[in-house]
Structure 1
Amino acid sequence: MKTNIEMNNTLTKLSEFKNNSTFQVLEYDDLRGGTDVKTAFMLSYMRDANIKLRQLRIVLQGGGVYTEPNALSFMRGPIEVSTNTGGLMGLSKKFVSSKISGEPVIKPLFKGVGEILLEPSFGHYAILQLEKEEIIIDDELFFAAEDTIDISVTTMKSISSALFGSEGFFQTKLSGTGIVVLEIPVPETEIFKYSLVDDVLKIDGSFSILRTAGIQFTVEKTTKTLIGSGFSGEGLLKVFRGTGEVWLMPTKVVYDKMLSQGMPFGVGGMDNLVQEPGFHKDHDKNRNGEKEK
């Protein structure tokens, strides 16, 4: 079939991790699909701000991968999709956990040989390879994981952590050996990783995204009394204590303020287009920008 269309859909491969399956973060070099003035203005604004559209590609070689519900864009090859509920009892437990936490625990499982491309996003992706490890993340950050990873819900250890920690009563726990992909609202250059050895880290705000199993999370007063905390101007702090890793993204506070104040120059819908993840690392293995056809 002849056509005048030159399908030069070249993307830049930002990073790649290989295990039972291959995970690639692809980035669209440019978006030129504007067909009206408003869309063209937004695309120009995004181009000037270096806001890029990214997409996760997963190459299956007989293994399986869990993804967030409704995250699929398209797939190629003999790949079967199922939901691993663990029988009637397992389904009941997952249903209860989902209703309580507000996060869908039953995630689709893709298994076979071929490739999967998940929906494009203006967010950023962190690929992690766990080796008999456990991490705890905010619910909305999970994007995909190999089926060798156990995905479950964990509860806060104290009432104060749940009530005043901004994360709610429940978070997502990922454990085992395999690859995990998180969708995060800031680029990797703005993530701070702290390695604690029987130490303590205190933060004022909701910008922690990950902690490992050896870290205990609590919410504590800045001073010995609640009244003193009020006068100090700091109030309550999130406290991470123990041995392990904590990931922080302090610039998220600035982006949240920018979104709440709205976009300049009358671009009313821009903040809906460029929103935070959840909203629908050792990262880059290839910083030279391989081209992916």
Structure 2
Amino acid sequence: MDLEKKITILNKSSYNNVDFEVISYDKLRGAQNVNMAQSMFFAEQTGLKVKQVKITLNNSSIKTEAGALYYCKGHIESKTKIGGATGLFKKAVSGALTSESAMKPVYSGTGEIWLEPSFKHYLVMELDNDSIIVDKGLFFCCSAEIDIKPVSQKNISSALLGGEGIFQIELRGTGIIILELNIPESEIVQYELKDGEELKVDGNFAIARTSGVSFSVTKSDKSLLGSAMNGEGLLNTFRGNGIVWLAPTAPMYNRLYSGIYFSNSSMNNKE
């Protein structure tokens, strides 16, 4: 099969003898019954495509989320660094709290690595001696030079009320990072904060921030009563110097997925 004629390269980035590619399959052609054909037809009409991350190694290394490997070809070895019983216990606890696996496999050598295909979307980011903090469950793969570790929320309010959990994931260093998202890259909004500016968000649809930006939960009004009366309540607040990435449409996709939006629309039409 001439695969190159059946795929589209959506994004491509390289660092230190590693090529990262996000591809999509132009069309699925394997319908086996009417129901499957109908699902494939609607998927094609709405632009829903299978996507996959391909990584080409040339005497180099990468890290992935555990279980992300689909298949590989060439002279490639896999190593998983445990770091002793104490380190394993700490990683297991933080992994459980962040929805991330405790171990991150490292693949080294020369050849091709194909990660699990998905209908989800992928965001390719480049770090240059910097660090970002990402929402739980988003990490997919990165350059081997990137350090991955859990970071705890700085205060009780953000840990308990912010919707992000007690721990998030910090990615630090220089190289390429790929995050797995529920929304396309075109719907992500990037805001730069300067001189201690604030960004207040009604919900937990911020997906990442640079380490110079702090996160807390604050009142939407000067008083608790005012916050309750104005209908906004508490807000996720980002403050500092750096960049915040928002996914404003994410809550709508969650509603569509669960059918809440259409259920509410039907009830409103009846009224």
Q: Is TM-score (shorter-chain normalized) higher than 0.5?
A: yes
Equivalent in 44, 48, 57 of residue 45 of structure 2: 48
Structure-1 separation of matches of 2:232 and 2:223:
12
Does residue 135 of the first structure (1) align with residue 132 of the second (2)? yes
Q: Could you list the structure 1 runs, at least 4 aligned residues long, displaced by more than 6 angstroms after superposition.
A: none
1:209-243 deviation line (CA, Å, top 9, x unaligned)? 01001000000111122222111111111100000
Structure-1 separation of matches of 2:245 and 2:106:
28
8 Å contact kept, 1:105–1:152: no
Question: Structure 1 residues 80-89 or 247-256, which shifts more?
Answer: 80-89
Q: Which residue of 2 aligns with 1:204?
A: 202
Tell me by how many angstroms 1:88 deviates: 4.1
Pick 1 or 2: higher relative contact order, CA cutoff 8 A, min separation 6.
Answer: 1
Structure-2 separation of matches of 1:260 and 1:88:
41
Unaligned 5+ runs, structure 1:
1-6, 265-293
Structure-2 separation of matches of 1:185 and 1:86:
33
Identity, % of aligned positions: 44
Does residue 81 of the first structure (1) align with residue 78 of the second (2)? yes
Write out aligned runs for 1:1-293 (5 A): 7-9=1-3, 10-20=6-16, 21-198=18-195, 199-261=197-259
Structure-1 separation of matches of 2:98 and 2:123:
23
Tell me by how many angstroms 1:66 deviates: 1.0
Structure-1 separation of matches of 2:100 and 2:91:
10
Unaligned 5+ runs, structure 2:
263-271
Structure-2 separation of matches of 1:134 and 1:154:
12
Partner secondary structure for residue 38 of structure 1:
helix
For the aligned residue pairs, the C-alpha RMSD in angstroms reads 1.6
TM-score (norm 1): 0.84
8 Å contact kept, 2:148–2:171: yes
8 Å contact kept, 1:197–1:244: yes
Indicate how the Cα distance of structure 1 residues 172 and 71 shifts in structure 2: closer, same or farther if over 3 A, else same.
same
What amino acid maps onto 2:170 in structure 1? K
Structure-1 separation of matches of 2:89 and 2:251:
38
Indicate how the Cα distance of structure 1 residues 131 and 60 shifts in structure 2: closer, same or farther if over 3 A, else same.
same
Tell me by how many angstroms 1:105 deviates: 2.5
Partner secondary structure for residue 57 of structure 1:
strand
Structure-2 separation of matches of 1:72 and 1:66:
10
